[in-house]
Chain A
């Protein structure tokens, strides 16, 4: 009994190193450095400038996989 999986033929892998994503963070005088998109109803209590700054964190691989066609799976009894 054999099983054949041809999903490898339908898979495309695309690596893109250092795909940067810019997000905006709230810089205060304290240790907290949260996403600026959040709401801060009590911001005045943080004693900070409340300055919004962009931050780029490099990301690594993107894996792209094409959807498998059902007929590519074969089972032989």
Chain B
């Protein structure tokens, strides 16, 4: 669908909700993903300035996650323009996307809506090397580290201080101490961020409920790819979930499907298909920030060229540029 059809859907959602709607899609098309990251903050600012002061802002969000700190910044920025902020979740809204939802007064989840745990993995130059690819670093999941220590303490009968030190030393021999330090900082950070975001609601949550939500989203789901349905989000985790009515739900899904088709999310980006002759330039859109006032796209641009050495039929893909671009 073209932008005009999306504008119609956004306008219908906006009228039903009595809100200003901002769409943020980080595409997960294989080979050309995008993720939540700080460079989108300025893009949000451009749209919010066009909104001006609002009674209510709805963020229509699809993401597999990203940077841990960006949700905090985005929620603060959005709340500069409105006292009431909500997130519309048509499908995936994992990890940093779920963290962003914690800063919302309401999370409107369709039947296909999915949240995810907010247990981050951290990676820096001190992380272990991937034995299958030495140029790669293996992200360390913070809950895995604390689960190991809990396992050593609870199950392996490691009770004395000496034994606990030994268990920790064993870990530090496998993972660089500075990587472990990074893990601990992020362990504290994610809990702090989650609590502060939940405390931003227009209707404050009671203390016990905040703790319950944070505990469930950080350590009590036990798998980072646990997909949280709207029922679980509402009933078990006690998030402020709202179910869209029969008019809103199909609009949300239609808007998501439009973005999914526009970015070909279901098909891997296959550079060889782009090749015409010995070399071809390409541009591929992998993310959107869109409102009725304008649209920004995250675009990878580069070229693909045929390389018949060392094997015939190989292609080489070069990404020359990647970034947000205002299209209107």
Contacts and interface: CB of A to CB of B under 8 A. Distances in A.
B320 interface: yes
19 contacts: A29-B67, A30-B323, A31-B26, A31-B40, A31-B66, A31-B323, A32-B298, A33-B34, A34-B33, A36-B135, A38-B302, A38-B318, A39-B319, A42-B321, A52-B133, A54-B132, A54-B133, A54-B136, A57-B30
Count class of interface residues, chain A: 20 to 34
Nearest to A21: B30
Interface of A: 22-25, 27, 29-42, 46, 49, 51-54, 57-58
Given A38-B302, A51-B137, A54-B136, A31 B35 contact: yes
Contacts of A42: 320-321
A31 B300 contact: no
A31 B34 contact: yes
B40 to A, nearest CB: 6
A40 B138 contact: no
A77 B171 CA distance: 75
Interface in B73-99: none
B31 A34 contact: yes
B286 interface: yes
Chain A interface mostly: strand
Contacts of B302: 38
A14 B174 CA distance: 39
Given A52-B136, A53-B136, 8 more contacts: A31-B40, A31-B287, A33-B35, A34-B319, A35-B32, A46-B322, A49-B124, A51-B123
Nearest to A32: B322
B9 interface: no
Contact of B324 (A31, A39, A52): A31
B130 interface: yes
The residue in B38, B133, B316 that gathers the most chain A C-beta atoms within 10 A of its C-beta is B133
B300 A34 contact: yes
A16 to B, nearest CB: 17
Interface string B269-297: 00100000000000000110000000000
Contacts of B324: 31
Interface in B203-233: 225
A70 to B, nearest CB: 31
Contact of A36 (B30, B66, B136, B323): B136
Nearest to A37: B317
B320 A41 contact: yes
Contacts of B32: 34-35
Contacts of A22: 132
Given A34-B319, A39-B316, A24 B286 contact: no
A33 B287 CA distance: 11
Question: What are the 8 closest A-B residue pairs judged by CB atoms, nearest first?
Answer: A32-B322, A33-B33, A52-B136, A39-B318, A35-B31, A31-B37, A38-B317, A30-B39
Contact of A32 (B34, B130, B132): B34
B118 interface: no
The residue in B33, B40, B67 that gathers the most chain A C-beta atoms within 10 A of its C-beta is B33
A34 B323 CA distance: 12
The residue in B37, B130, B271, B321 that gathers the most chain A C-beta atoms within 10 A of its C-beta is B37
A41 B302 CA distance: 10
A37 B272 CA distance: 14
